[in-house]
Structure formats: C-alpha cells, structure tokens
Structure 1
Amino acid sequence: MANRSRPQKTRVPYRKYVAGEGFSKVGFTRQDRAHNKEDVVAVDNAANDQQELPRSSLNPNSMMTLPWELQKLIIKYSERPALNYLLVCSRWYWLTVPLIYRSPKLTSKNFSNFVTAVIADRKKKMGSYVCELDLSTIMQSGKNSYVSKLLRRCSPHLEKFTAPQTSFGYAPLISLKACCELKYLDLGLVSETVKLKELFQAIKNFTKLTHLSFPRSSIDCKGCEGFVWPSNLQYLKLSGGITNEFIRDTTWPATIKTLEFSYCPQIDENSLYVLLMRIGNNLRHLYFHYPMPSLRDNSLDYVFRYCTNLISIQLTVDYVTKWAFSEYMLVEIEGFERPLKTIYLVSSGALGMSAKIHPDDFTIAIMEQRLPHLQNLSVSSKLGWDMKSSDVEDLVTAIDDQDGGLYLSH
C-alpha cells in the first residue's frame, strides 16, 4: 500500500526537440504554462504600431522554427550533406538521403557497402535516388552481376554513368537499356571486348543522350551501318576498333559539336576527311590523341579547310606539319573571321618532332590575321622549344596583342 503522506516528486523541467517545431519545454506545472501564455511584451514596429509577441520569441536562446520546405532548401544548397544530418530526426533523414545518394563517391573500400544498400534492400529503393554513377575507380572489386544490378536499380533517374575498367560485359549492356534518362555515357575505360552492334542496340532509345564515349576495346562493326544516332548527341569520342567502312557508311548526326579521336588504329586519312566533310562545319571542338598509327606525318594538315568554325583544337605534332598554319590551309574567307581561340599542340616525344613546327609559323599566321581570335596556345614541352629564345618572345608578343598567352604543358 502506497504511503500517501510521502511528498510527491517534482519533475525537473527540460527541453525536448520536436521535429518541425524546434525545442519545447516539458515538465512545468499548469500554473507555469498559463503564466507563459499570458506573459507577453509590447514591441513597437516601424509604423509605431504595437504588436504583442510572446517573451520566448525575444529570448536569444530560443530556436527558430522553419517550415520543412525551407529546411529542405537549406540542406539541398549546403556544400556537402553531412552524415550527421541523418541522425537529427526521421524527416531530416528522408530529406538528406536523396542528396547523399544523388552522386556517391565510390571507391574500392565502400563499393561493397553501396551495392548492399542499393541491391539488398528493395523496400527503401535507394537506387532511385542515384543520378550520377561513377565507377571509374572500381577495378577488381566489381562483378558483371553487380554492375548489371546497379544499373537496373538506378535506372529510373540515372543521368550520368561512367563504366568501370573491368566487369562490364554483356549483362551490363542489357541492363543499360533501362536507363532511358541517360545524358552522359562514358565507356572509355572499358578494357573488355564490347561489340558495337550490342552497344548500339542498348542506346538506340536514348533520346536525351548528349555525351557518348566509345570503349577502347570495341570491335566488330558489322551490322551497324543503319544505326540511328541519338537525336541530341553533341559530344562523341571515337576509339577502339572503328573501321574505315563504318566511318564512310554511317550517317553522322549534324548535332555533334565536339568530336574526339582516341586510339583508332584502323582509321586512315581518307576516312577521316570523309567524316569531316560531312560534319566539319558543325564542329566547335576537335581533338586528336596519340597514337593513330594509320595516319601519316602530314595527315592533319588539311583539317582547317574542312572545319572553319572551330573554337578549340588539339593537334598531335606526329601527324601535322607547319603547312597546316600556312595561307594555303588557313584560307581567307571574305566577310568571315575564324573563331579559333585555343590550340593544343601535343607530341609523343619521338625523334624529329621538334623540327616540324617552329614558333615563327604561329607568329606569321597571327600577324597576317589568319588567326585573329587566337588567345590560348598550349605547347607540349616535348617539342623542345627554347622559351628564352627571341622566336618565342616574338610569338608571345603577337599573342599578347590579342589579349592571349602562350602556355607550356608537361
């Protein structure tokens, strides 16, 4: 039987955090609560109108209560949502999870945990939050089945995908068909053999795709002549076993603005200029990477004749000579000035490359207004130019008159 004569215990007031309301005081008596409601102060506003505000609103220690929409925007525009945000409350958990999974930073150490979170737990559907999936750092820790399942789980909103170096075979290509929202597809690191016909079948319905990089081990171009390219394709990187027949027989889209060649051992000079003849005037950026063994030492001399609207270009000195910048190639067009602003000169460092192009070749082209908008000239250190010579100083002066500069790359 309880002892009624024992004095009752009094609860110490404390502050409790309530989601969406901030901190609330708990443990006061009814008299204290009534007193807090009646305790107001008069505050004069700009118009000298009196407005009654609760005393707690003037307390600097009190927490401000914000609507969920504002809290969501604050979390969204923070630099990087911290994992501690997940521990605040359940509502903050579901506000932060989509931001964390939107573009995960994956490594070989956390890849297995990411796969478990996306694949194993189907109820939470974490994969639907992923918009950018970069597997370039994953080498041996992934499997074909893992990559295939990840693509299926992340397919609803996946916009950017970079394939891993390994573990990208036939099964991931099949799962890739479900990623219809893709805008960026980079297969440049894939070292496994990929048939272009299967790749084209996977991306034929990608109407939003703007960037496409071919795998460097792509082979077997048979049956791809009638392929219809994505309608919004703007960037294309060709590499691997692209054949001359494929270049000549393919109907290239006119929407391509950036074209890049990276290790295409079978493409020769004739096929290259057939491609540039069709879409050269539409290009704004053109890049050539070493090696391209089927090209000769002067195969790129005629590039400027086919591409008059270029803004930037990268040339490999192994396949170009000084005549590319002469008046015969940079032909003057009446009422038109070439918009070329940036030139990258790269070299393999082989013997004899330093004598192919001299600084005076650019100086004369600039002084004769063949390159009126050139502002950035990046030269590889493998060319062996003496940066303290008078020829280079003349080139620097000529570029500086056009508010540009000469840069040395290593």
Structure 2
Amino acid sequence: MSSVAEIFLPTEIVLQIVSRVDRSLRGHERQRTLYTLCLVSHQWYSAALSFLYARPRLEKGNAYRKFTAILCPPASAPKTSKDLGRLVRRLDLSRLVHHSSNSMTARLIGRVRENLEVFIAPASGFSVNSFSPLSKCTKLRYLDLSLVNESFQFDSVIKSLRYMQHLVDFRAPGFMRITQDTVALRADSGGPTWPASIEQLQLSGTIDINMGTFRWPENITQLTLKHCMNLSLYVMTGLLGNHQLDENLKRLTVSTYNRGLQPECIHLIPVFLPNLLFLSIPGDLVHDIFFSMMKHRGKKLALEVLELGHTHTGDKLDFSIQSLINVLDTSLPNLRAVGFHTMYGDDHPDLDDALLKRAEEKADELPISDETVEFDAGTYYFD
C-alpha cells in the first residue's frame, strides 16, 4: 500500500485561506469553522488563532464560561506562555444575561485591554469596578455602555475615557446621572475632558443641569438622545442653545425612548440647529407648526434628510404632508429624502414626486460635498 505524501502549503497561503474564511462567514458559523481550522495542524493553529479570538461569540451554551476560564484562570491554574487576551479586538457582551459577575467582567476587561477596539457592555455584571480596567483600553474606537443597569455619576464615566484617544463612538450608560454635583463637563471646569477623537455620542440618563453650559466633545458631529429620563422643555432648550452643537452638529437623532419629551421640544430644533444635515425625530411629536415656524423664520436650512420615527402614542402622523411640501422651496432647499416608520402605513406620492423632481433638476449641479448624508432621493420606509 503506497503512503500519501503530505502537501506543504506556505504559511502565507494558509493565512490567505483563513482570512477569506474570516471575512465570508458570520456569527457562530465563523467561530466553529475557525476553531476547526485550529485543529488541522500546528501551522494552521498558528494562522487561525488570532482570527478565532479577534471577535468571539460568547452567548451560547458554555462559551462564556470556557472563554473566561482560558483568559482569567484561577491563581492555582498552571501558567501558560500565550497571552490570548491581546488577540481580542471586539468584545460584545450585550447578549449575556446573568453569565458574569461584576468582578469577572472587570477581570476580563483587564485581560483584553491591550488591543481591544470595540467593547459592548452587558446589562448585568458591569459595575463601577469595571471603570479602572476599562480606562486602560486605550485603543478603543467604539464603546457602548447603554445596556448597563447600574447607575453612575457622569464624572466617573468621563474619567474612564480620558486616555482613549482613538475613541470615535461612545454610547453612555442608560442610568447615568448628570446633576448639579457633576463638575467634569461644565464649561467653567478644569476637570477631565472628552477625548478629542469622539465624533458620535449617544447621551442617556438623568439630566439635572443647565445644558447650555455643558461641555460637549469638541469634534462632535452626531448626537443621539435616547433613554433620557427627563428630556423636558427646559433641558432641551438649554441643550439646543449650546453653541458647540450649533457649530459642529450634522446629525441629530431624538429617540421616542425619552421621558418628558414634548412637541415644543421638537419644534425648536430647526430654530436652534439650522446646520443639521440629518434629523430623526418621533413622528407623533411633529405638528404643522414645525414647518410653519421654518417659514416664519425666513432662513433656509441645510437639512438633507428628515426621518420620522415610531411612537407609542398612535400610528398616525399629526401634521399635513402638504405643510411639508409647502416649505420645500422656501425653507428646505436641500432636502432630498424623508423617511417614515412603517407603522405610519400609507405611501406619500405627492411628497415623493416633489423630492424626485427636485433631485432631477439638481442632477447637473456641482458634486455633493463630503458632509452630505448619503440617502437616495424621495421617500423611504424603515422599521
């Protein structure tokens, strides 16, 4: 019987194969396949290991327990030469329920801190003790604490961000407290400031200060207000009147998941922020006066996309589509697209025709700028 000769593949070829698998598969199928490749040989193990640990999926079965047992072994466990924590680039714990304790989450963050770029915290198991190891994750680009059930003062949160000079997108804890005792972000404070790299911010929690003096990230371009506990007219007036937002903000999303929000809060947005390119707001809080105030003000807005999000108060819009069409030329010369949540049902052919006609007329004009929001012209629908 003739023996089968082994075929040797250069490591560069093996890496190309593993990289293709990593890009083409998703979720648990990707993880299972990469794990299988690690079992082929020492060569394949070395090639596939970094891909396997880069974006682990931990929510099914005993995956999280096994993962933490490897990265955070007890002190009595034998020492290993490999520091696998440095291979983790994305750690998503959002699907975990009661898998972890506060101490384990803090230990795990400490083990993956070296090269972590994306971190999504779990609802349970993240506490103030996690801020210390989190502050050492200096390569983070995306940080999402919005699911965390613990309550924090904003000073504690901002201090943990001070060394994250690559952080672009930050989603604050849902139960964060910005109160009169908060000193870190007042304009007259010498305390810690936001990382200069932050461009996208989701703000949540209880706001109990004059937002007109609030110190926003200096390069903020996108702001989402979601799960704010008291987004009253007083708070919104101060927030919208903050000169930093008027100068820098290009995209604003006001979620329906805010308490205290009134139609008057929404009607003030075009008045205070005429330079917005994208605006997403709860559809039920938009009244005809929203558009008549634009016309009365007599200034043209930069707005390119208006999105009318869902609501819990009903499935009908409380304004006339004609009132929007009437201000297209006078107040909204750049509006290209209007989005409707699917809960509102019917098509809006008159508005669609008006937007498409405008797009055709402008087709031969100068190219759009880098700041333009990319949406096809006309109306669209979303869930």
Same fold (TM over 0.5): yes
Match of 2:12 among 66, 69, 73: 69
- Over the aligned positions, Cα root-mean-square deviation in angstroms equals 2.4
Match of 1:98 among 50, 64, 67: 50
What residue number does 1:131 align with? 89
Q: 1:289 and 2:255 equivalent?
A: yes
Report the alpha carbon displacement of residue 233 of structure 1 after superposing the two structures with TM: 0.6
- TM-score, length-normalised on structure 1? 0.76
Classify 1:94/1:331 alpha carbon distance in 2 versus 1 (closer, same or farther; 3 Å). Answer: farther
What residue number does 1:342 align with? 305
What residue number does 2:239 align with? 275
Q: Which moved more, 1:268-277 or 1:84-93?
A: 268-277
Larger relative contact order (C-alpha < 8 A, sep ≥ 6)? Answer: 2
What residue number does 1:33 align with? none
Task: Give the structure with higher Rg (CA).
Answer: 1
What residue number does 2:374 align with? none
Report the alpha carbon displacement of residue 214 of structure 1 after superposing the two structures with TM: 0.9
1:74-103 residue CA offsets vs partner (Å, 9 max, x unmatched): 322332462221122212201101011101
Structure 1 residue matching 2:270: 3-state secondary structure: helix
Unaligned 5+ residue runs, structure 2?
74-78, 360-376
Match of 2:71 among 109, 118, 122: 118
- Separation (CA, whole Å) in 2 of partners of 1:312 and 1:304: 11
How many matched pairs?
341
Report the alpha carbon displacement of residue 163 of structure 1 after superposing the two structures with TM: 0.3
Q: 1:206 and 2:164 equivalent?
A: yes
Structure 1 contact 134–162 (Cα < 8 Å) conserved: yes
Q: 1:332 and 2:299 equivalent?
A: yes
Classify 1:122/1:179 alpha carbon distance in 2 versus 1 (closer, same or farther; 3 Å). Answer: farther
Report the alpha carbon displacement of residue 140 of structure 1 after superposing the two structures with TM: 0.8
What residue number does 2:76 align with? none
What residue number does 2:4 align with? 15
- Separation (CA, whole Å) in 2 of partners of 1:330 and 1:399: 22
Structure 1 contact 244–267 (Cα < 8 Å) conserved: no
User: Between the two proteins, what is the percent identity of the paired residues?
Assistant: 22
Match of 1:380 among 341, 348, 355: 341
- Separation (CA, whole Å) in 1 of partners of 2:57 and 2:297: 46
Unaligned 5+ residue runs, structure 1?
1-11, 24-64
Report the alpha carbon displacement of residue 234 of structure 1 after superposing the two structures with TM: 0.4
Report the alpha carbon displacement of residue 238 of structure 1 after superposing the two structures with TM: 0.6
Report the alpha carbon displacement of residue 347 of structure 1 after superposing the two structures with TM: 4.0
Letter in 2 for 1:301: H
- Separation (CA, whole Å) in 2 of partners of 1:311 and 1:77: 37
Classify 1:355/1:70 alpha carbon distance in 2 versus 1 (closer, same or farther; 3 Å). Answer: closer
Structure 1 residue matching 2:206: 3-state secondary structure: coil
Match of 2:206 among 228, 238, 241: 241
Structure 2 contact 283–317 (Cα < 8 Å) conserved: no
Structure 1 residue matching 2:207: 3-state secondary structure: coil
Structure 1 residue matching 2:253: 3-state secondary structure: strand
- Separation (CA, whole Å) in 2 of partners of 1:113 and 1:256: 39
Structure 2 contact 170–198 (Cα < 8 Å) conserved: yes
Structure 2 residue matching 1:300: 3-state secondary structure: helix
Report the alpha carbon displacement of residue 328 of structure 1 after superposing the two structures with TM: 3.1
